[in-house]
Structure 1
Amino acid sequence: MSPFNIPEDLRGLTEEELRTSREKFGFNEIRKAHKATSADVLLDILKEPMLILLIFIAVIYVATGNYGEAVFMFVALIAVSGISLYQNNRSRKALEALKKLNEPLSKVIRNSQVKQIPTREIAVGDLCITEEGEMINADGSILHSNDFSVNESALTGESFSIFKDKDSVDNYIYSGTIAVSGLAVFKVERIGEATRMGKIGLSVLNIREEKSPLQVQIGRFVRMMAIVGIIIFLLVCVVSFYNTGNFVDSLLNGLTLAMSVLPEEIPVAFTTFMALGAWKLMREGIIVKRSSIVETLGSTTVICTDKTGTITENSMQLEYFYEYRSDKTFDRDEFADSRLSLLISYAMWSSEPVPFDPMERTLHRIYEETQPHDLRKSYRLFHEYPLEGRPPMMTHLFENHNKERIIAAKGAPEAILKVCTLPESEKSRIQTLTEKFGHEGYRVLGVAGCQFEGSDFPTRQQEFRFDFLGLTVFYDPPKKGIKEVFQHIYEAGIKVKVITGDNADTTKAIASLAGIRQTDTAVNGTEIMTYEEKELVEVVAHNTLFTRMFPDAKVAVIHALKKRGEEVAMLGDGVNDGPALKAAHIGVAMGNKGTDIAKSAAGLVITNDDLGKLITGIAAGRRIYLNLKKAIQYIISIHIPVILTVSLPLFLGWAFPQIFTPVHVIFLELVMGPTCSIVYENEPIEKNVMQQPPRKISHTFLSFKELTISIIQGIIITAGVLLAYQFAFQNGGSEEKTRAMVFCTLILANIFLSFTNRSFFYSVFDSFKNRNSLLAGITFLVLLMLFTILYVKPVSLFFKVTGLSLTEIAVSFLIAVISVLWFEIYKLLKRINRTG
């Protein structure tokens, strides 16, 4: 929290006044869109095609007097609904936790004390403090301000900032707008839905979020499978009715197949993976504002990063002063030297009276420590020019009771030298000194002062005639461990671009220390704006450092990278980073030192400002995407044998055409659902994932090759299951014995498939090193249920199976092993080719 000396007349609400205000006006929040209750969620689940089929089949069983099967269907209905409800609740709770963590804080004055409170607790009558880069969270009128300007584009569409104070014609500020510079204290007059932004917010409550590319692809795939299911359902009904003349049995056969075709696990898996992925990232200190961002994280191809506060510590240690009159550089031990008095004073006066920037805070501290007389309370800021220009500078005008003035300016050395009355030879000499400091990684500011009588101030600060006073030399060291972070980024096949407002020399030095590659050349913001689109696309491809950048130039670089087909993550923490954070595919803001404008523009916030957390996020994105692919490939592979085992005996006219009934299929669905959406979501990251290049976001979630592999896996498992069918039948097995062999083989194949598909590259034995307790637990549970079905008499009678001998179990086991674990040979050849 920035230091703030409270004027005596700004006391704020008392506890009693706060209670009265709260009772009358409520909390500072906008009514949420209808929040789904558990009943609403359950109703939505019951609208799913699989559940509708279950209900329909149960009704048929009741109508035909098969009450045992009907009860099982209703129990299955409860079980499937319960699993879906559990998954939905996990996802919902994860998202609610994210929203709660995203809730902003606000500073208020209450009982003459500055407090930080959740924004929803702001009350009418509160005195709110807002500073540069912060979001304004209520409507109110300014009571006190300092160099305060506000961007109201959220309400007006105008992108420029407006200076306001208590004496302005319009001294009102609004919720949802951004403080661009300075500080203001305003009295809250409207909160929540009564604010201008609140009234707009009510009109957009029910606008649905656009689906991500992956969601669209998955939705398309599920719809295609549903159409295939309808076609096969009709075909099976017709063939069965033609063969038997029994309409009810034919309908049940068709519905059995329809149940086996519908891949309803896929959308559930997607929602679960994304929501739980976001929740797990939150526990790592990475706040994801929308769960779909998790999907995009893993495909990042370029990271654009600001320098100050992102690569560096943003500690801004003052290392040297260069005093022009004495032509001497003073280090830390010499700051008390009387020759520095004027330079230190003007460096402080050119800063904000209530500093919030680290450099300005340092200058105020050095002034306090070195000056015998503190004149800050004797002078008031009566005119100012904000930070502007390319490169930028700023000017403050102070005056005391005797009308004595101090006019102080600071900014980029190039900007300050340009407005100073110095010979060109001297300007060149000082510029050379500035470059020398820059090459050593220091950040340099020029300081100047001037005399001006009267009140006819120039429109632009550059029109004053300044006297050059000297340079302030800061060092902002790279963060600890930053070199290793960038090493990991490069290993992951991701490119790095540095986009900063600092000069080229300092940026090159810091970038080299941080381990960033290709730092020989730098392009500045002014150059960026001169390029045509095609030229700019080439420039951003071949350069790493972009210096003296301003918001428009930053956005131009982001757009050029996107034009190249890159998936861009932008890291930043300042006001000027806001537009670029918004323009990038993924805006990443720093949580501690980041401004509200940066955090509101970003889609992801790193709470402790540790850039290494971005690697964690990218790794999580890749893990989640790959695990989702594994889950979907598993679903495809295991659905094929279920579909073909139900249909082929009927189409081929085998002895037992109805080898599976809805009872068997729904049991298989109960096994497959948790495996894909719970077990695979919990699967750890594979060891080679962060050494592979990122995927392109435009690629379909399953390539033709990947889809073909899953289909082949499914067909070979089908062959094995049908071999078990023929083995049992040829050895004189009854329908119950044959069904038991087929059922046992398919369940065992399902278990082996869930293990072998944990990796499509490493062997199943390597995968055992990645502990997944959920997989072990579900495997044990499935085997327990299988043996219960086979050997517990009432259950086996219900499932119309009979117990298997040890030899028959061994045959089923062997067939399942061969029909699944052949894939290990394919993976071995893949590894040999990769290393060969």
Structure 2
Amino acid sequence: MSYNIPDHLKGLTESEVAASRELYGYNRLQTGHKSTWLYLLIDILKEPMLILLIVISFIYVIVGDYGEAAFMFFAIVAVTAISFYQDSRSKKALAELEKLNEPLSKVIRGGEVLEIPTHEIVIGDLCLTEEGKIINADGRIVHSNDFSVNESSLTGESFSVFKDSKSEDNFIYSGTVTVSGLAVYQVSSIGKETRVGQIGESILNIKEEISPLQIQIRRFVKGMAVIGLVVFLMVCIFSFIKTGDLVKSLLSGLTLAMSVLPEEIPVAFTTFMALGAWKLMRHGIIIKRSSIVETLGSTTVICTDKTGTITENTMNLKHLYDYGSDRTYEENEFEVDELAELIDYAMWSSEPVPFDPMEITLHKTYEQIRKNDLRQEYQMFHEYPLEGRPPMMTHLFENDKQYRIIAAKGAPEAILDVSRLSVSEKEKIRTVVKAFGRQGYRVLGVAKSHFEGNSFPVKQQDFNFQFLGLTVFYDPPKKGIREVFQRIYDAGIQVKVITGDNADTTNAIALQAGIINNTSAVNGNEIIGKSEKELIQISDRTTLFTRMFPDAKLAVVNALKKKGEVVAMLGDGVNDGPALKAAHIGVAMGNKGTEIAKSAAALVITNDDLEKLVVGIAAGRRIYTNIKKAVQYIISIHIPIILTVSLPLFLGWVFPQIFTPVHVIFLELVMGPTCSIVYENEPMEKNTMKLPPRAMGDTFLSWNELGISIVQGLMITFGVLFMYQYTVQNGGSEEKTRAMVFTTLIFANILLSFANRSFFYSILQSFRNRNPLFVGISALVLVLLFMILYVKPISNFFNVTTLDMNELGLALLVAAISVLWFEIYKFVRVIW
């Protein structure tokens, strides 16, 4: 886009930019330290599991068992490395998202208009701001064109203020919003030194609100930690009373405490969310907060704009209706003399530097039709921005000879209301508008006025307008949009269209796009003034909301939320800001979206493609489902570890310490990667987008799901303890019994990880979902198991003996029976 900027505004050179940055730094509010590897390491070492390992290691050193101590220190390094890898991956993904979320700013440097990351603005820069943009530094206006700014973020006053270089207050401030026009300002303050930086630095200390899922997971982990502490004390006391050996009692208690702590769960949650957001970024979906991924999967209602979301946003000028001749002209007839005035005033009522697709089309039509281009001769000296219900806008131009052009355009109803027409004439034009609307066309009215003097009316509606005619645009639905909406409906999600267009046009486009609608459209004016109960009823039953303005959009979103819906709101304009902020998931368009919309939204779709939101919802459901699978796996496998460590001790069996800390930490090292790396990589199950969305308030694990995990854990426990008793009854030594129990538990762990890939499909069906990490990690675990069993120094260290093929086969059979009963349960569940 070209800008009409005076030649003398050249901006800084590269060397001047470097010198300014050296002196004043970057345009950032935050000055706190970045997350370095050292901070990550310190955070990891605070984890309860690491603390337990360190305590056990020192106990082994004190009693002189240096082999066990060395293994524990190795385990500390291994657990730390895994956690460090997962944390650094998460932090790296979030850092990439942060970079993409940073807005770009336009600056003039070396005589050229450039787009740069906002943090690179320096003092002395010439910044350019225009309608809908957030101002990103403090500065003095040096050039402007009909510029007005909303400073409510600083002053609390919601009205816009017109400013220029000659104003008494010609400064503009970071965090404020350009309402109209264009301005070039020279930067005087950046970062913490801006006015918003000085009053708002405390915002940096506000913690992000945690999601319902995070709350539930934290409660679960805290509950397990409390249970672990109680069990630790019980085992210590019981063992000490029985043996009188304090060190052995401490080790027994600590072993059990390690088996109870589900420290993998919070790590898995962080990993799943951060990597989920990062993967969506690669699809062109930028997430502001990684926890929003969880909410995406719960979406029950999508509120979408029409233009540019459902439609292509091409805005082809298909027809012109000339009021003077009472005739509609086709595209190939625009060059006739009768249309000259209508085309002229339609163009003059548009922005001098257009960015709206309709205005761009009107300028192009003017260029093609009018041989004598007068745009360079006239300057816009007064503007009434788009406003009203329905909206209209008016521009005033003047040339050197003081000849004026006053042009207005807007919704046909708005232009008709201010035009000198009889009731019957207005009714005739409304009939024409309705006929166009039923074909899916977007219609604008055009009018002209005359005014002497400079005491202009406060409101544009007070001018005396002459109606000229109608411009008729066609913005066709996007290719493939019907299939997109079908996928949304298949997923049990409702669709609401919220648009500024009229009911006839919206209804026609909705029909062409495959939107299901069985009720009449509701106008924005019908929303305001209704009670909360009435609003909920209207919002629930209505699909098409037309002639909507900011307050009405916000009212609909809030009403849907009150009803218990999880609302995704799609918007691109300044007027969408409140509704985007209020929705559970505000979605801004990356291409045509204003900075206001992008800053208010929680999610940005880079190419304005509604299908990307469906991709995001599918990803949210996949991630939520996979977290549940991981947590259910963790619960199921912790139960046999806890009971195998504790029951032989409490029941007075012959080998009370069948597992020591060495065995438990090996199992923990197996489980950690399985749940947080392997399950995170698990593809979406084929029925995921055919199921209705889960209710937002649902408990993370229902009692039924928790019950299944507990039963799975108990069945594995029965198998493992059966193997214990079977080996003992057949004269097995402690080492043989330990080897049989340990091997059975490892086999069961591998089979469980495969069985829990789906709680609906069988293991064989799940293999169709390719996840190489499952096979890789399972193979690695088996290699490590066979090294423990058959490499003499290692088997001595783990206090186990070798197993022959019959014993291995028996361990595998018992493990299979204790896990694969769940396949029968799945089969029966599907039938019923």
TM-score by length of 1: 0.98
Deviation at 1:423, TM superposition (A): 1.0
The 8 Å contact of residues 146 and 381 in structure 2, kept in 1 or not, is answered as no
Point out the more displaced range, 735-744 or 113-122: 113-122
The 8 Å contact of residues 285 and 616 in structure 2, kept in 1 or not, is answered as yes
Write out per-residue CA displacement over residues 388-408 of structure 1, whole angstroms, 9 at most, x where no aligned residue.
Answer: 110011111112222211111
1:586-665 equivalences under 5 Å are: 586-665=585-664
Deviation at 1:328, TM superposition (A): 1.4
For residue 768 of structure 2, what is the aligned residue in structure 1? 769
Write out per-residue CA displacement over residues 752-774 of structure 1, whole angstroms, 9 at most, x where no aligned residue.
Answer: 00000000010000000011111
Deviation at 1:128, TM superposition (A): 1.6
Matched to 2:803, the amino acid is L
Cα distance between partner residues in 1 of 2:613 and 2:380? 42
Cα distance between partner residues in 1 of 2:717 and 2:299? 39
Write out per-residue CA displacement over residues 82-128 of structure 1, whole angstroms, 9 at most, x where no aligned residue.
Answer: 11111000100000111112222111222222222222222222222
Deviation at 1:61, TM superposition (A): 0.7
The 8 Å contact of residues 143 and 185 in structure 1, kept in 2 or not, is answered as yes
The 8 Å contact of residues 133 and 180 in structure 1, kept in 2 or not, is answered as yes
1:361-760 equivalences under 5 Å are: 361-518=360-517, 520-760=519-759
TM-score by length of 2: 0.99
Cα distance between partner residues in 1 of 2:211 and 2:782? 38
Write out per-residue CA displacement over residues 346-403 of structure 1, whole angstroms, 9 at most, x where no aligned residue.
Answer: 1111111121211111111111211122212222222221111100111111122222
The 8 Å contact of residues 537 and 564 in structure 1, kept in 2 or not, is answered as yes
Write out per-residue CA displacement over residues 502-528 of structure 1, whole angstroms, 9 at most, x where no aligned residue.
Answer: 111111011111111115410011100
Matched to 2:827, the amino acid is L
For residue 137 of structure 1, what is the aligned residue in structure 2? 136
Write out per-residue CA displacement over residues 393-452 of structure 1, whole angstroms, 9 at most, x where no aligned residue.
Answer: 111111222221111111111010111111111100001101111111111110111111
Write out per-residue CA displacement over residues 238-294 of structure 1, whole angstroms, 9 at most, x where no aligned residue.
Answer: 211122121111111111100000000000000000000001101111101110001
Kindly report the root-mean-square deviation, in angstroms, between the aligned alpha carbons of the 2 structures.
Answer: 1.2
Count of residue pairs brought into register by the alignment: 832
Matched to 1:708, the amino acid is G
Point out the more displaced range, 485-494 or 342-351: 342-351
Cα distance between partner residues in 1 of 2:27 and 2:152? 22
Deviation at 1:194, TM superposition (A): 1.7
Cα distance between partner residues in 1 of 2:137 and 2:120? 11
Write out per-residue CA displacement over residues 679-718 of structure 1, whole angstroms, 9 at most, x where no aligned residue.
Answer: 1001000000100000112111100000000000000100
Point out the more displaced range, 90-99 or 238-247: 238-247
Q: Could you say if the C-alpha distance between residues 806 and 17 of structure 1 is closer, same or farther in structure 2, counting changes exceeding 3 Å?
A: closer
For residue 255 of structure 2, what is the aligned residue in structure 1? 256
Matched to 1:488, the amino acid is R
- The percentage of counterpart residues that share the same residue type is 70
The 8 Å contact of residues 309 and 573 in structure 1, kept in 2 or not, is answered as no
Cα distance between partner residues in 2 of 1:22 and 1:75? 47
Deviation at 1:169, TM superposition (A): 2.6
For residue 66 of structure 1, what is the aligned residue in structure 2? 65
1:204-243 equivalences under 5 Å are: 204-243=203-242
Point out the more displaced range, 52-61 or 189-198: 189-198
Cα distance between partner residues in 1 of 2:346 and 2:698? 54
Point out the more displaced range, 197-206 or 102-111: 197-206
The 8 Å contact of residues 147 and 386 in structure 1, kept in 2 or not, is answered as no
Cα distance between partner residues in 1 of 2:308 and 2:437? 18
For residue 17 of structure 1, what is the aligned residue in structure 2? 16
Deviation at 1:19, TM superposition (A): 3.4
Write out per-residue CA displacement over residues 586-636 of structure 1, whole angstroms, 9 at most, x where no aligned residue.
Answer: 001111111111111111011111110111100000000000000000000
Cα distance between partner residues in 2 of 1:508 and 1:520? 10
Matched to 1:689, the amino acid is T
For residue 145 of structure 2, what is the aligned residue in structure 1? 146
1:28-67 equivalences under 5 Å are: 28-67=27-66
The 8 Å contact of residues 491 and 690 in structure 2, kept in 1 or not, is answered as yes
Write out per-residue CA displacement over residues 273-323 of structure 1, whole angstroms, 9 at most, x where no aligned residue.
Answer: 000000110111110111000111000000000111111111111111111
Cα distance between partner residues in 2 of 1:657 and 1:499? 68
Cα distance between partner residues in 2 of 1:77 and 1:14? 54
Point out the more displaced range, 11-20 or 537-546: 11-20
Write out per-residue CA displacement over residues 439-492 of structure 1, whole angstroms, 9 at most, x where no aligned residue.
Answer: 111111101111111222111111111110111111111111111111000000
Matched to 1:296, the amino acid is T
1:198-209 equivalences under 5 Å are: 198-209=197-208
The 8 Å contact of residues 508 and 520 in structure 1, kept in 2 or not, is answered as no
Cα distance between partner residues in 2 of 1:21 and 1:245? 73
Deviation at 1:228, TM superposition (A): 0.7
Matched to 2:202, the amino acid is S
For residue 183 of structure 1, what is the aligned residue in structure 2? 182
Matched to 1:671, the amino acid is V
For residue 168 of structure 2, what is the aligned residue in structure 1? 169
The 8 Å contact of residues 519 and 545 in structure 1, kept in 2 or not, is answered as no
Cα distance between partner residues in 2 of 1:685 and 1:355? 44
Matched to 2:210, the amino acid is K
Deviation at 1:582, TM superposition (A): 0.5
- Where 1:594 maps in the other structure, the secondary structure is coil
- Where 1:167 maps in the other structure, the secondary structure is coil
Matched to 2:683, the amino acid is P
Structure 2: state its 5+ residue gaps. none
- Where 2:205 maps in the other structure, the secondary structure is coil
Matched to 1:113, the amino acid is E
For residue 119 of structure 2, what is the aligned residue in structure 1? 120
Cα distance between partner residues in 2 of 1:122 and 1:603? 25
Write out per-residue CA displacement over residues 762-817 of structure 1, whole angstroms, 9 at most, x where no aligned residue.
Answer: 00000000111111111001000101001111101110010111111111010000
Deviation at 1:34, TM superposition (A): 2.4
The 8 Å contact of residues 744 and 786 in structure 1, kept in 2 or not, is answered as yes
The 8 Å contact of residues 747 and 812 in structure 2, kept in 1 or not, is answered as yes
The 8 Å contact of residues 164 and 170 in structure 1, kept in 2 or not, is answered as yes
Cα distance between partner residues in 1 of 2:4 and 2:399? 19
- Where 1:570 maps in the other structure, the secondary structure is strand
Point out the more displaced range, 247-256 or 756-765: 247-256
- Where 2:581 maps in the other structure, the secondary structure is helix
Cα distance between partner residues in 1 of 2:808 and 2:110? 79
- Where 2:239 maps in the other structure, the secondary structure is helix
Matched to 2:654, the amino acid is A
Cα distance between partner residues in 2 of 1:773 and 1:213? 32
The 8 Å contact of residues 519 and 541 in structure 2, kept in 1 or not, is answered as no
For residue 302 of structure 2, what is the aligned residue in structure 1? 303
Cα distance between partner residues in 2 of 1:159 and 1:11? 34
The 8 Å contact of residues 130 and 185 in structure 1, kept in 2 or not, is answered as yes
Deviation at 1:14, TM superposition (A): 2.9
- Where 2:181 maps in the other structure, the secondary structure is strand
Cα distance between partner residues in 2 of 1:196 and 1:6? 27
Point out the more displaced range, 76-85 or 448-457: 448-457
1:801-812 equivalences under 5 Å are: 801-812=800-811
Write out per-residue CA displacement over residues 714-764 of structure 1, whole angstroms, 9 at most, x where no aligned residue.
Answer: 001000000000111011000000000000000000000000000001000
